[in-house]
Chains A and B, each alone.
Chain A
Amino acid sequence: AQKVTQAQTEISVVEKEDVTLDCVYETRDTTYYLFWYKQPPSGELVFLIRRNSFDEQNEISGRYSWNFQKSTSSFNFTITASQVVDSAVYFCALKKSSGNTPLVFGKGTRLSVIA
C-alpha cells in the first residue's frame, strides 16, 4: 500500500526565514510520481510540482526548491526567504505511474508566516 507522511502538522516562521516541509513516502512501486500542492484558505489545491521517481535531480523555482532522495524515500520542500503570502496548508502526494490510480495525500503541513 502507498502512504505519505508529513510529520509536521504546523510550522510557524517569521517572514524572510527559510523553512523546509518534510515529506516521507512508502510505496512498493518502482515507478511513481510525487507532487506538492498548496492550499490557501480559499480551498483550491494549487499545483506546485510533479517529480518522476526516476528523476532525482533537485529542482528550484524562484524561492521554492525541492529535494528528492529516493534512498530515504523523501521529497522535501524548502521555501527560501518566506513571505506572508506563503501561509497555507501544503500537501505532498504520491501516485503510481502505471494504471489509473488516484493521488494518495499526506495529512498536510500548515505553514504560518508572520510579518
Chain B
Amino acid sequence: KAGVTQTPRYLIKTRGQQVTLSCSPISGHRSVSWYQQTPGQGLQFLFEYFSETQRNKGNFPGRFSGRQFSNSRSEMNVSTLELGDSALYLCASSSPSGNSGNTIYFGEGSWLTVV
C-alpha cells in the first residue's frame, strides 16, 4: 500500500512569490492534515480537510490556504512568501472513518526555502 506522497520534495522560491504543495493521502484515507516544521517553532498544525471540507485550522495568517479534492488529494498554497516561511511542510492522512484518534501517517514532506 503506497504511503502519503508529497510533491515537490524540494523547492526554492523568492520572497513575494507564491507556492503550491501537493499531497496524495494513503488510498482510502479521507482526512488530510498539514503541518509546518521549523527549527524555532517545531511542528505546528496548519489545517485539516475531510471530504473536501476544512474541519480545523491552526493559527496561521490568511496567506496560508488549502483545499481538498474529491479524490482526497490535497494542496496547500502560501502566497506572498516571506523568509520565515522557509520550513518543512508535512502532510498527514488518517483512516477512512476520519474519526479522531486513528493513526496518523505522514509523508516525507516538502522542503521550502524562501530567498
**Taking each of B92, B98, B101, B111, which has the highest tally of chain A beta carbons within 10 Å of its own beta carbon?**
B101
**Cβ of B14 < 8 Å from any Cβ of A?**
no
Closest residue of chain A to B106 (Cβ to Cβ) is A45
Q: Give A75 Cβ to nearest chain B Cβ, in Å.
A: 15
* A residues in contact (CB < 8 Å) with B: 33, 35, 37, 42-47, 50, 52, 91, 95-103, 105-108
**Cβ of B48 < 8 Å from any Cβ of A?**
yes
B43 touches A105 (CB 8 A): yes
CA distance A45 to B90 in the complex (A): 8
Chain A residues whose C-beta falls within 8 Å of the C-beta of B104 in the assembled complex: 35, 47, 95, 103
Q: Which of B34-83 contact A (CB under 8 A)?
A: 35, 42-43, 45, 48, 50, 55-56, 58
Closest residue of chain A to B41 (Cβ to Cβ) is A107
Evaluate whether A102 and B103 lie within 8 angstroms (CB atoms) in the complex, with A43-B88, A43-B111 already known: no
Interface size of B in residues (CB-CB distance below 8 Å)? 25
DSSP majority for the B interface?
strand
> What total count of A-B pairs have CB within 8 Å?
59
A50 touches B106 (CB 8 A): no
B108 touches A44 (CB 8 A): yes
* B residues in contact (CB < 8 Å) with A: 31, 33, 35, 42-43, 45, 48, 50, 55-56, 58, 88, 90, 92, 98, 100-101, 103-109, 111
The answer, among B31, B50, B56, B106, for a CB contact under 8 Å with A44, is B106
The answer, among B31, B56, B103, for a CB contact under 8 Å with A47, is B103
CA distance A99 to B104 in the complex (A): 15
The answer, among B33, B42, B48, B100, for a CB contact under 8 Å with A97, is B100
A sample of 27 cross-chain residue pairs with beta-carbon separation below 8 angstroms, ordered by A number, consists of: A33-B101, A37-B106, A43-B88, A43-B90, A43-B109, A43-B111, A44-B106, A44-B107, A45-B90, A45-B106, A91-B43, A95-B104, A96-B100, A98-B100, A100-B31, A100-B48, A100-B56, A100-B98, A101-B100, A102-B33, A102-B35, A102-B45, A102-B56, A102-B58, A103-B45, A103-B104, A105-B43
